Copies of this chain bind each other. A is one copy, B any other.
Amino acid sequence: MSKEKRTTLDQIGEFGLIDRITKPFAHYHATTVKGVGDDAAVIQINDTEHLLISTDMLVEGVHFNLMYAPLKHLGYKSVVVNLSDIYAMNGKPEQITVSLAISSRFTAEAIDELYAGIRKACDVYGVDLVGGDTTSSLSGLMISITAIGRVNHEDVVYRSGAKENDLLIVSGDLGGAFVGLQVLEREKEVYKSNPNAQPELEGHDYILERQLKPEARKDIIQFLDELGVRPTSMIDVSDGLASEILHICRASGVGCHVYDEKLPIDPTTYSTARDFNLDPSTCALNGGEDYELLFTIKQADYEKIKGSPHMTIIGHIVEENAGIYLIDRAGALIPIQAQGWNHFDR
């Protein structure tokens, strides 16, 4: 290790680190169709199908806080965030592996609870738990899940397929998980200063569920298939809408114009954001953890999806030189910048 150069991780960020460490790798197998750089890796397995592989690691104190995340919900969410990546490739998840590192403060009954949530997610989404690893940790809980899925060759959707004039669409609504987290953080602070205080969670059911027990949009993939619409590009909204728009634009070599007034925000998200003096649009753009699907479709497919519930046209793809902008209600162009989670910048 060079003694001269010491680059801290917050100087380069997560995406900088990923770029730095994955570029020099050669590929030896023709079966590797797509490696690093999309929601899942794509591996050739037979004449009609590709295998999809995606993996996520959740770390206590970074991705979840057991003061307010029930273990059963945590288990459920851990699976869902991985399945979301398989759907984002327009695929169907079939198997998962689950690895845990557990400190001795957890009882077997606590791990049973975590697995009850994992099992629930497997049942709801119809996936098989096929393996994993279980070990101790010196402190805290770490969960590493790998999801395995399939997609027909002609159906796989990458981040890189967006074309000028395509419509940009997002499923569901945005910002709820982030605003739900603010409610939980507030109640945690109240509890810490007065452990006898009753948590004020009433009226926040929707945004709390968005944070604690999100769902992956299996239904959207099925719905698009039934409508005969194949997205030209797709990604799931894990780090935040702004960050995901940038991923699609960079991978596709295009620009994008997004309309602030079109951002789908649930009324509960909106009013609670206001209570916290947060701009609802900023929560929608940068909040993250929505696990909605962001995708582009050809204009020719507009008639097929017009009037569909669960999806909103929020903008359109433009040529690369036309930039990546949010157009606010006054018509001003605001450059979209990634303000997704930078885990190293704390």
Interface assignment of A224: CB less than 8 Å from any CB of chain B: no
Q: Quick one: CB contact mask for A25-44 with B, threshold 8 Å, 1 for yes?
A: 11111011011100011010
CB distance from A150 to the nearest CB of B (A): 8
- The secondary-structure label for the interface of chain A is mixed
Partner of A104, one of B10, B18, B113, B139: B10
Closest to A14 in B: B134
Q: Shortest distance in angstroms between A192's beta carbon and chain B's nearest beta carbon?
A: 18
CB of B139 within 8 A of CB of A138, answer yes
Q: Which of A95-103, A215-223, A306-314 forms contacts with chain B? A: A95-103
Known A-B contacts A94-B31, A136-B343; A128 and B51 likewise in contact (beta carbons under 8 Å): no
Name the contact of A109 in the complex, choosing from B6, B29, B31 (C-beta under 8 A). B6
By a CB distance below 8 angstroms, the chain B residues around A7 are 107-109
Interface size band for A = 35 or more
CB proximity of A134 to chain B, nearest CB, Å? 6
0/1 per residue, A125-146, Cβ < 8 Å to B? 0111111111111111010101
B112:A20 contact, CB within 8 angstroms: yes
Decide if A198 is an interface residue (CB 8 Å cutoff). Answer: no
Q: Tell me if B106 and A9 are in contact (CB < 8 A).
A: yes
Q: List 23 A-B contacts (CB under 8 A).
A: A9-B107, A17-B134, A20-B112, A25-B122, A25-B128, A29-B94, A29-B95, A31-B94, A34-B130, A36-B130, A41-B95, A41-B131, A43-B130, A45-B51, A46-B47, A53-B131, A53-B146, A54-B131, A55-B146, A59-B137, A60-B138, A104-B344, A136-B344
- Contact surface of A with B, Cβ cutoff 8 Å: 1-2, 5-12, 14, 17-18, 20-22, 24-29, 31-32, 34-36, 40-41, 43, 45-47, 49, 51, 53-57, 59-63, 71, 94-95, 97, 99-102, 104, 106-113, 115, 119, 122-123, 126-140, 142, 144, 146, 148, 150, 343-344, 346
